[in-house]
Amino acid sequence: MEDFDVLIEDDRWETVDLERLAQGAAEATLRHLGLTPDAAELTLLACDDTRIAALNNDFRGKARATNVLSWPAEERGSAIPGGDPLPVSPGVDGMVELGDIALAYQTCAAEAEAADKPLADHVTHLIVHGLLHLLGYDHENDPDALLMEGLETEILGKMGLDDPYRENGPRGLS
């Protein structure tokens, strides 16, 4: 991807080669949806629980840490439950501004450990999840959740990763 910034605030993220994971997850997600990765603009903030709790409070009114947050550059969600989001339109420069994603190290690491998964696999899933939010997918109701979870499973499967929703997987990530 040409314009993908990864901002690492917490050095513990270096243990999973986050830039490589993020690049791979973003490219796989965009290609799966028929989008050109080189035309996408995206920023990933790799922070800790304290920072993400503050962001979660500021933007969602929830004063607690969470695994992933996303801020789409444009509202693309479908008005119909389970419907496809609005199409992505490039700007005059041919680029598509997608938005921003933030990940919290401690929460992600604790979730991976609790699920007995490699941290890299869990983080890859969360990046795919966050990027789908930027593209207008959500999990606010069952039809939307089924669509989004199905896409996550397909994308991760193409990347050689297990279905995150099989056996007690989380329903409705942030």
29 φ/ψ angles, rounded to the nearest 5 degrees: -65, -50
Helices 105-114 and 119-134: angle between axes, nearest 10 degrees: 120
- Known binder of ligand: residue 125? no
Contact 164, 125 (CB under 8 A): yes
Cα(164)–Cα(146) distance, integer angstroms? 13
Say if CB 100 and CB 163 are below 8 A apart.
Answer: no
The answer to whether 139 is a known ligand-binding residue is: yes
Alpha-carbon Rg for the chain, nearest whole angstrom, is 15
| H or E segment to which residue 130 belongs | helix 119-134
- How far out from the chain centre does Cα 99 lie? 11
Cβ contacts of residue 110 below 8 Å, gap of 6+? none
Output phi, psi for 102, to 5 deg.
-125, 140
**Binding site for Zn(2+): what residues are annotated?**
129, 133, 139
